[in-house]
Amino acid sequence: MQSFRTELENPVVAREIIELEHKINAYRQGSIGDDKFRSLRLARGIYGQRQPGVQMIRIKLPFGKVTFQQLLKIADVSDEYASRNLHLTTRQDVQIHFVSLDKTPELWAKLAEDDMTLREACGNTVRNVTASPEAGIDPNEPFDVSPYAQNTFEYFVRNPICAEMGRKIKIAFSSSESDTAFSYIHDFGFVPKIEFVDGKEQRGFKVMLGGGLGAQPLLAQPIYNFLHEDEIIPLMEAALRVFDRHGERNNRNKARFKFLIQKLGLEEVLSLIEEERTALKNTVYKIDRTLVEEPQAPTSYIEPTKPQDGPGYELWKRTNVMPQKQSGYYAVYAKIPTGDISTDKTRKLVAGLKNHIADDIRITQGQNLLFKFVRQESLPHIYNVLYELGFHHAGIDSTADITTCPGTDTCNLGISNSTEMARVLEKYIEEFHPDQLLENKLKIKISGCMNSCGQHSLAEIGFHGSSMKVGDRILPTAQVMLGGGTVGNGVGRASERVIKVPTKRVLQVVDLILIDYKTNRLSDESFHDYYDRSEKRHFYDLLKPLADTSNLTDDEFIDWGHQDSFTTAIGVGECAGVIIDLVATLLLEAEEKLEWANLALKQGLYADAIYHAYSAFVWTAKALLLDKGVNASTQISVINEFQKHYVETAQFAFPTSFPERVLQINKYQPSAEFAKAFITQAAAFYYESNDRREELRQSFKETQV
């Protein structure tokens, strides 16, 4: 491990990796509890699998951009530490599985050599910032949103305001009004716009706030039709401060930003956001448009070649190849079944395409790969490479291009095997509904449970895993969801629950819906319009015979991809992090935050120093409240409850009140003077609280003698 540390150029990353190794050792020795350690590793991209004793590692790749060297490095790491497979996710990350916990610092160090991180890929953090994979080449884009996604990633990673929130935050940038990054289901969604002021072009975004999927999907609300590009990061920073302070922390089912907006109302949330602007690190943040360079087109000579499958090649060109806005170049999609690509195929892919595509591969939200700056004469060669690897199938972003989560393959929350269901459905559609390979406005998405990691809530046809008891046996079932999907320009639809059927009947479900739609729709009528015109009851009646459990076969009690009868074996999900409320742990964390505050102060990072000190105030107050059995569910309620239980009872005294002391944080601009004063106040409160608690514990021990 030591040799890897010395090779890392970034001292911050090196320190993080060393810290992770120390935390693992402390956990092994029993000085860090399970809950605390779970939170620590999740914030570092380490996620417990369904299988005991091994981890899933999520590699955070902003807006899905990955180079040849990075892809090869991930393959090497997967060979050495994982299962020789790369899984592409709907958030444009790469996941590797079956990793030993003790090997994660070494693994991270190797990834960091090629500028990849695990930091905040899981847990209660700002997750991977996504963007349309076509960004930079989209003929319909007002401008390339890639630098905006990169600026956002760099600004919020390791930022104290969003390192330990009540739940995760998701951000997306779409390249155009087609909204291929699904802005409408994100906490912050951005659609690029251009306005002209005094004849000068101004870049900005339509801004969507408070969307989210999960078991209770809510669509984001537009809060700006045009927000100048230099104001988007300050807006997000202010909103994250509000979410951190007012968001739910005990009941994680109600802890997303969308539920805070639902609870307080959009107008009140926007008012709170405005109140935070004084304290921001940057009231205006100028976007560095050069942060992501335009990839260079390959220049090597291309030998003429013929495609291996003439008719297949022509269909592939029609569905998987698109002209770029750069004249003479094409973008090519590789269809990666269920987002899984072996390390061996990864190396063959890079070797075969290296001189034919730009060194800028994008992972798509559909779990595929996009290659850029392809010349027309390279298309047959690229098709042949993909053909040999099995990635040549036509119908990208069509009905036959199904999105799915890992399901019961690895996830603790998985109920059904969504990956095998997707494979079977894709083959069925290609064989029996080949016309759907050309249909890109009717999508199928599958999740292994109701949490929508496979995005079933935003599909025209969605399924999520479920189960029901039939007699003394457990039947694997699929909840059918219909009518969701993208409308455009920040507008979308959440699908509706229609009916639940045995999982093995999903082929018949899709068959009936497609036949009904193609037979009865009006000329050029979209599935959305047809669904609305026909109404939900029509589809319920259409599918009701498939829900009949009086005629089940033994095979229907066996899930896709399995040989034994179905059983539900759901573990504890970790995708949203955990709640930590042990008194001793909270006080230790408060002390740690004071150390971070002083370090940030020395580095001149005054806003960060102030926020660390604020967190020390809150963590200390929460610890003392728990000593009284008071479990406040938000930071603002911690502050108010401490005033009620400790200040108003004269156990602590402040010049005015505890809320006024702590909430100075949003009353002053960040400065060295205020940071020093605020840290001093937080430290005094922590030490007084710690001393008081020790006195109480000692007194209690004496009464027990």
| 206-258 tens-digit pLDDT | 999 999 988 789 999 999 999 999 999 999 999 999 999 999 998 888 999 99
Predicted pLDDT of residue 567: 65
- Would the CA dihedral through 316, 318, 323, 327 be positive or negative? positive
CA atoms of 229 and 44, how far apart (whole Å)? 30
Q: How many CA atoms lie within 13 A of 575 on its CB side?
A: 19
CA atoms of 511 and 363, how far apart (whole Å)? 30
CATH class of 310-389: alpha beta
Asked if 58 contacts 108 with a C-beta cutoff of 8 angstroms, the reply is no
**Domain formed by 404-557, architecture:** 2-Layer Sandwich (3.30)
Asked if 243 contacts 263 with a C-beta cutoff of 8 angstroms, the reply is no
Predicted pLDDT of residue 578: 38
For residue 496, the 8-state DSSP code is E
Grouping H, G, I as helix, E, B as strand and the rest as coil, residue 341 is strand
CATH superfamily of 583-704: Nucleotidyltransferases  domain 2 (1.20.120.330)
Length of the chain: 705
CA atoms of 529 and 348, how far apart (whole Å)? 44
CA atoms of 21 and 102, how far apart (whole Å)? 8
CA atoms of 364 and 90, how far apart (whole Å)? 7
Residue 520's CB is within 10 A of a number of other CB atoms, namely 12
Tokens of 116: 């990849």
CA atoms of 83 and 97, how far apart (whole Å)? 6
Predicted pLDDT of residue 663: 96
CATH domain 130-279 topology: Sulfite Reductase Hemoprotein; domain 1 (3.30.413)
Grouping H, G, I as helix, E, B as strand and the rest as coil, residue 299 is coil
Predicted pLDDT of residue 579: 36
Whose tokens are 């699998």? That residue is: 49
Predicted pLDDT of residue 698: 60
Q: How many CA atoms lie within 13 A of 448 on its CB side?
A: 24
Q: Which residues contact 420 (CB under 8 A, 6 or more apart)?
A: 560, 561
Which parts of the chain have pLDDT scores under 70?
A: 1-9, 407-414, 566-582, 695-705
Predicted pLDDT of residue 414: 61
Predicted pLDDT of residue 34: 75
Whose tokens are 């040799």? That residue is: 3
CA atoms of 148 and 63, how far apart (whole Å)? 10
Domain ranges of the chain: 2-64+89-112, 130-279, 310-389, 404-557, 583-704
Residue 632 CA to chain centroid, in angstroms?
27
- pLDDT tens per residue across span 89-148: 999 999 999 999 889 889 999 999 999 999 988 889 999 999 999 999 999 999 999 999
| Maximum CA extent, the chain | 91
For residue 466, the 8-state DSSP code is E
Same fold, 130-279 and 404-557: yes
Tokens of 228: 């100048």
Long-range contacts of the stretch 688-696 (C-beta < 8 A, 24+):
688/652, 689/587, 689/620, 689/621, 689/623, 689/624, 690/587, 690/591, 690/620, 692/624, 692/651, 693/583, 693/587, 693/623, 693/624, 693/627, 696/627
Please report the DSSP string for 91-109 in residue order: TS-EEEEEE-GGGHHHHHH
